[in-house]
Structure 1
Amino acid sequence: MHDLMRDLCLSKAKQENLVFIVDRPNASSLSMIRKEAIEKSLPLKVLNYVEEHEDDDCNPLFWILITLARSTGRHKIHEICRYMFNNFKLLRVLNYEIRTRRTRDLFGGWKLPSDIGNLVHLRFLSLRNFEFQRSKLPSSLGNLRCLQTLDLRVDDRIHVPNVKWRMEQLRHLYLPLRCKSRTKLKLGTLTKLLTLVNFKTKNCYLKDLINMTNLRELGINLPFNIENFNEKELGENPPIIGSKYLHSLSITYEEGLKIFTLFSIDVIMKSWSKIDPRHLAHLLSNCTSICKLSITRVISELPEYHYFSSHLAYIRLICCKFEEDPMPTLEKLPNLRILELKYTSEGKEMFCSAQGFPKLESLILAELYKLEEWKVDEGAMPSLQRLEIEECGNLKMLPEGLRFITTLKELKLELMPKAFKDRLEEGGEDFCKVKHVPSVIFQKCG
């Protein structure tokens, strides 16, 4: 490289803070430069590094950070972040996700500086699992108009300012699990959204979903209410979902997740919010293309099968506490391939009729504590390959119809009584029902 070209490159590099030149006379300043460089880059690299080495007691960076936090306090880390927000203006990706308790102790409990609004070129921002000193996000987030992914799934109940409508380039939006009651977000301008998680009608406008014509994945967190709902004719209500491409829908209730250790699950579930079955039926009738459905803790009865999309291939139902057997409805879905039922039934009997579940390949029955008898007709579940039964302590025996399912390749039994296991082992009363199954697994039984 010519000397003049070299000088020009060094000059530009210095202006952009890309290089430091240390000659021998000034070598003593090297340690200061290194310290300054570490402090400038700390917020970008430290989280991932610490988390990857959290179990390493000799991890030098972790102990350096402990020393820094104890000697200078979180205020110093806060100032480092402010410096970054004001000087790294070409930054595209910022991931502050907290995955470990150690990292949370170092970086949790601080106020997100409003200077973050200076990072106008950001495409990705994650604040997942962060704990904030003040339970509100700065309105300067609205300046980040180039954002394509925004993850705000924090543990605290926070206030989110109504500035998301300005982020028209957003593709993936993960809202907080719990928002302050005064939070009300307008999302109708986010027509490019592909993913929307933790949508609540209490904090968002239901009518905005009709404008999200490219939505692929929708996660609804209760409460979910439809205003001016026509109870007599569901079809007369205006459509809810505007996207023809929605393939995944989850509905859950997160408010009670952290109190399991204090009360019994049955007491908690009685206080949980529920979705009106008619609202659920109307919502599902709008989701004509979904292939994955997950419902947790929000219903006690299923809508009739014709409200479900014929494309459904995966259904997961947890803690729904059905008073009636859900199988007569679910077995009519023509393309269902995977079904998971966990703590969902209050009934003592479950029945699968002939020709039911024509394409079902995997069935998981877990924690159906009151289930005593399961009947399967010959011809039911003709494509079943994997069956898992976990912690169904009152189930007396496997159904007789299981012997006719010749496609079954694996049967896994976990946390079942010893008497149940003995019936299925060679020489047992029910061994004839499973002897054609290549793999029978007993795990923690008896």
Structure 2
Amino acid sequence: MRMPLCCLSSLVRLRIVSVVVDMVMPPDGQQSQRPLNTLQNLKVRGDSSFVSIFNESKLQLGLRDCLASVEELEIYRCSNIVRWPLEELRCLPRLRSLHIRDCSKLEGKGSSPEEEEVLPLPQLERLIIGCCDSLLEIPKLPASLEEMVIRYNRSLVALPSNLGNLAKLRNLDVCNCGGLKALPDGMDGLTSLEQLSIGGCPGIEKLPQGLLQRLPALKYLYISRCPDLKRRCEEGGEYFDLISSIPEKVFPIWLEARVARVRRSPSAGEGSNVCVPHLGFTPFY
């Protein structure tokens, strides 16, 4: 599909679903004089969609100016992403919300094993990553982050090493990441933390010392399907007194409703499954 670049001068939201978009310059004399800085919400679904937008030649053509104003980005079912797309993310200096879902081959390893990658998003406030089955690690996060939701990433073995230094983080939600064995050391720097949810991570047996110091200040605590951690929080457990002042505590014995469903997508073809978590994600259809 061919789209003149000047068409983006009036767009606020753009969704591209499994289609190749060819950005072209308008004929001489027909170029719009309006600034290309109105686009705020961008959703890309499918391999061809991601490549169409984050293509070096198109960025040089002028698309980079359009992306500079984007505040929300959702990347869905892009199996051609293996490493963190750090160069592409650098085109989004104003990004506040990043959702990455169902990117089955994303491992998260950086290009240089000696250097620990940092997400180049200085204004990022919300990060959601879900149903990325190959994901092993997440880069260091910017200090601006306020909410992090990590769900259904079964291969994930570690959270970002600087997680405990995010002074603005208010909500930390880690669920159904069976490969996780522990939270990062420290975490005493989470001075704004209000909500903590840990579920379906049986390998997490205890909380780091720094996080224990923050427990009395929480407003909400959710622990599920982490038997050792749950036992420490119950009456008689070593964390019981620390969490006694938390207004809302949820320790379900079982889940009466499924927290995730695997549904067949009509557009995905035979044999294709899409993981659609109910909580923390918005539908992309």
Q: TM-score, normalized by length of structure 1?
A: 0.46
- Let me know the Cα RMSD of the aligned residues: 3.3
Kindly indicate whether the alpha-carbon contact (under 8 Å) linking 2:100 and 2:130 is maintained by their aligned counterparts in 1. Answer: yes
Paired positions, count: 233
Quick one: which of 292, 296, 303 aligns to 2:101?
296
- Find out whether 1:329 has 2:140 as its counterpart: yes
Runs of at least 5 residues in structure 1 that lack an aligned partner in the other structure = 1-183, 231-235, 254-271
In the alignment, which residue of structure 1 is the partner of 2:14? 196
Write the mapping of 1:269-348 to structure 2, written as runs, cut at 5 A.
273-275=79-81, 277=83, 280-298=85-103, 299-301=106-108, 306-321=118-133, 324-326=136-138, 329-330=140-141, 333-344=142-153, 346-348=155-157
- Between the aligned partners of 1:287 and 1:302, the Cα distance in structure 2 is 21
Letter of the aligned partner of 2:107 in structure 1? S
Kindly indicate whether the alpha-carbon contact (under 8 Å) linking 1:402 and 1:433 is maintained by their aligned counterparts in 2. Answer: no
Q: CA distance change for structure 1 residues 354 and 185 in 2, over 3 Å: closer, same or farther?
A: closer
Kindly indicate whether the alpha-carbon contact (under 8 Å) linking 2:5 and 2:23 is maintained by their aligned counterparts in 1. Answer: no
In the alignment, which residue of structure 1 is the partner of 2:29? none
Letter of the aligned partner of 2:223 in structure 1? L
- Between the aligned partners of 1:273 and 1:354, the Cα distance in structure 2 is 27
Q: Which structure is larger by alpha-carbon Rg, 1 or 2?
A: 1
Q: What is the DSSP-based 3-state SS (H/G/I as helix, E as strand, rest coil) of the residue aligned with 1:317? A: strand
- Find out whether 1:392 has 2:201 as its counterpart: yes
- Between the aligned partners of 2:81 and 2:252, the Cα distance in structure 1 is 36
Q: CA distance change for structure 1 residues 302 and 335 in 2, over 3 Å: closer, same or farther?
A: farther
Q: CA distance change for structure 1 residues 348 and 283 in 2, over 3 Å: closer, same or farther?
A: closer
Kindly indicate whether the alpha-carbon contact (under 8 Å) linking 1:362 and 1:387 is maintained by their aligned counterparts in 2. Answer: yes
Q: Deviations over 1:394-425 (max 9, x none)?
A: 322233322211532210123x1444422211
In the alignment, which residue of structure 2 is the partner of 1:412? 222
Deviation, structure 1 residue 300 = 1.7
Deviation, structure 1 residue 274 = 2.4
Letter of the aligned partner of 2:127 in structure 1? I
Kindly indicate whether the alpha-carbon contact (under 8 Å) linking 1:215 and 1:246 is maintained by their aligned counterparts in 2. Answer: yes
- Between the aligned partners of 2:247 and 2:237, the Cα distance in structure 1 is 17
Q: What is the DSSP-based 3-state SS (H/G/I as helix, E as strand, rest coil) of the residue aligned with 2:98? A: strand
Q: CA distance change for structure 1 residues 293 and 302 in 2, over 3 Å: closer, same or farther?
A: farther
In the alignment, which residue of structure 1 is the partner of 2:65? 242
Q: CA distance change for structure 1 residues 228 and 373 in 2, over 3 Å: closer, same or farther?
A: closer
Q: Deviations over 1:340-388 (max 9, x none)?
A: 1012352445465586112000011011112122234153312110011
Letter of the aligned partner of 2:87 in structure 1? H
Q: CA distance change for structure 1 residues 307 and 421 in 2, over 3 Å: closer, same or farther?
A: closer
Kindly indicate whether the alpha-carbon contact (under 8 Å) linking 1:337 and 1:359 is maintained by their aligned counterparts in 2. Answer: yes
Q: Deviations over 1:282-305 (max 9, x none)?
A: 221010111111111222216665
Letter of the aligned partner of 1:413 in structure 2? I
Runs of at least 5 residues in structure 2 that lack an aligned partner in the other structure = 26-34, 111-115, 256-285
Kindly indicate whether the alpha-carbon contact (under 8 Å) linking 1:207 and 1:240 is maintained by their aligned counterparts in 2. Answer: no
Q: Deviations over 1:140-172 (max 9, x none)?
A: xxxxxxxxxxxxxxxxxxxxxxxxxxxxxxxxx
Kindly indicate whether the alpha-carbon contact (under 8 Å) linking 1:412 and 1:442 is maintained by their aligned counterparts in 2. Answer: yes
Deviation, structure 1 residue 319 = 2.0
Write the mapping of 1:427-446 to structure 2, written as runs, cut at 5 A.
427-445=236-254
Which stretch shifts more, 241-250 or 335-344?
Answer: 241-250
Name the structure with the higher strand share: 2
Q: CA distance change for structure 1 residues 376 and 384 in 2, over 3 Å: closer, same or farther?
A: farther
Bigger relative contact order (CA 8 A; separation at least 6): 2
Letter of the aligned partner of 1:275 in structure 2? I
In the alignment, which residue of structure 2 is the partner of 1:177? none
Q: What is the DSSP-based 3-state SS (H/G/I as helix, E as strand, rest coil) of the residue aligned with 2:90? A: helix
